[in-house]
Chains A and B, each alone.
Chain A
Amino acid sequence: MKPSIIVSDFVASIKTWLRSKGTLFWTIAFPIILILIFGAIFSGMGEVEYELYVQDLDDSEMSHTFIEILEGTGVIKIINVSSEKNITSFIEEENIKRLLVIPQGYGETIIQSFIDHNVSVNISFYFDPSEQSSSQVVRSIISDVVLSMNMNMTGGRNIVGIKDISTITEDFNFIDFFLPGMIGFTIMQTCIYGSIERNTKFRKDGILRKLLTTPITRSEWIFSKMLFMLFLSFVSTILIILVGVLVYNVSVNINLTMIVIIIATSFLFSGLGMIIGRFVKEEETADTAGGAISFPMMFLAGTFFPLDQMPEFLQEFARILPLYYVNEGLRNAMIYLNQSEAVINTIYVLIFASVFFIAGVLLTKWKED
Chain B
Amino acid sequence: MIKQRFKCPSCQKIVTHSGNPGEPKTVYCPYCGSKGRVIFSSLEPKEDLAIEVSHLKKVYGDLIAVNDISFGIKKGEIFAFLGPNGAGKTTTVEMIESIREPTAGTIKILGKDIKTQFNDVKKDIGILPQEFLSFERLTVRETLVYFSKLYKKRADIDNIIEAMDLKSHEKMLYRNLSGGLKQRVGVAIALVNNPEIVFLDEPTTGLDPKARREVWQVIANLRDKGKTVFLTTHYMEEAEYLADHIAIIHKGKIIAEGSLDELTTKYGQGSILHIKDCKNSNALGILKEKGFDVTSEGNDDLAVKIDYKDRVLEILSDLRHECIEYGSVDIRRSNLEEVFLYLTGSKLSEGE
Interface residues of A (CB under 8 A from B): 4-5, 8-9, 12, 15-16, 19-20, 205-207, 209-216, 366-369
Contact = CB atoms under 8 A, between A and B. Distances in A.
B169 interface: no
Interface string B148-175: 0111100000000000000000000100
Contacts of A366: 99
B173 A215 contact: no
B100 A20 contact: no
Interface residues of B, number: 33
Given A5-B149, A212-B98, A16 B136 contact: yes
Top 3 A-B pairs, shortest CB-CB distance: A206-B129, A206-B132, A205-B133
Nearest to B173: A19
A207 to B, nearest CB: 7
Contact of A206 (B119, B130, B146): B130
B94 A8 contact: no
Main SS at interface, chain A: helix
A367 B99 contact: yes
B146 A213 contact: no
27 contacts: A5-B149, A5-B150, A8-B150, A12-B138, A12-B146, A15-B137, A15-B138, A205-B131, A205-B134, A206-B132, A207-B132, A209-B99, A209-B127, A209-B129, A210-B129, A212-B98, A213-B99, A213-B122, A213-B125, A214-B193, A215-B123, A215-B150, A215-B151, A215-B152, A366-B99, A368-B94, A369-B60
B150 A20 contact: no
Contacts of B134: 205, 207
B99 A15 contact: no
Contacts of A4: 149
B149 A8 contact: yes
B98 A213 contact: yes
A10 to B, nearest CB: 11
B48 interface: no
B122 A12 contact: no
B342 interface: no
A12 B98 CA distance: 26
Given A15-B142, A210-B132, A210-B189, A368 B137 contact: no
A9 B145 CA distance: 11
Given A8-B146, A206-B129, A214 B151 contact: yes
Given A210-B127, A367-B100, 12 more contacts: A8-B150, A12-B146, A15-B138, A15-B142, A19-B137, A19-B173, A20-B137, A206-B131, A213-B97, A213-B122, A214-B151, A367-B99
Contacts of A214: 122, 147, 150-151, 193
Interface string B205-224: 00000000000000000000
Contacts of B150: 5, 8, 211, 214-216
Interface in B39-90: 60
Contacts of B6: none
Nearest to B139: A15
B237 interface: no
A368 B100 contact: yes
Nearest to A210: B129
B241 interface: no
B65 to A, nearest CB: 11
Interface of B: 60, 94, 97-101, 119, 122-123, 125, 127, 129-138, 142, 145-147, 149-152, 173, 189, 193
Contacts of B145: 8
B330 to A, nearest CB: 43
Contacts of A211: 150
A215 B149 contact: no
B202 to A, nearest CB: 11
B135 A12 contact: yes
Nearest to B193: A214
B173 A367 contact: no
A367 B138 contact: no
Contacts of B131: 205-206
A16 B137 contact: yes
Contacts of A205: 131-134
Nearest to A220: B150
A281 to B, nearest CB: 15
A16 B150 CA distance: 18
A213 B193 CA distance: 12
Contacts of B137: 15-16, 19-20
Nearest to B135: A16
Contacts of A15: 137-138, 142
Contacts of B151: 214-215
A8 B125 CA distance: 21
B99 A212 contact: yes
Given A210-B189, A213-B125, A16 B138 contact: yes
A34 to B, nearest CB: 25
Contacts of A210: 127, 129, 132, 147, 189
Choose among A5, A212, A213 the residue with the greatest number of B CB atoms under 10 Å from its CB: A213
B100 A369 contact: yes
Contacts of B147: 210, 214
A209 B94 CA distance: 9
A85 B129 CA distance: 72
Choose among B60, B119, B123, B146 the residue with the greatest number of A CB atoms under 10 Å from its CB: B146
A8 B135 CA distance: 14
A213 B173 CA distance: 24
Nearest to B97: A213
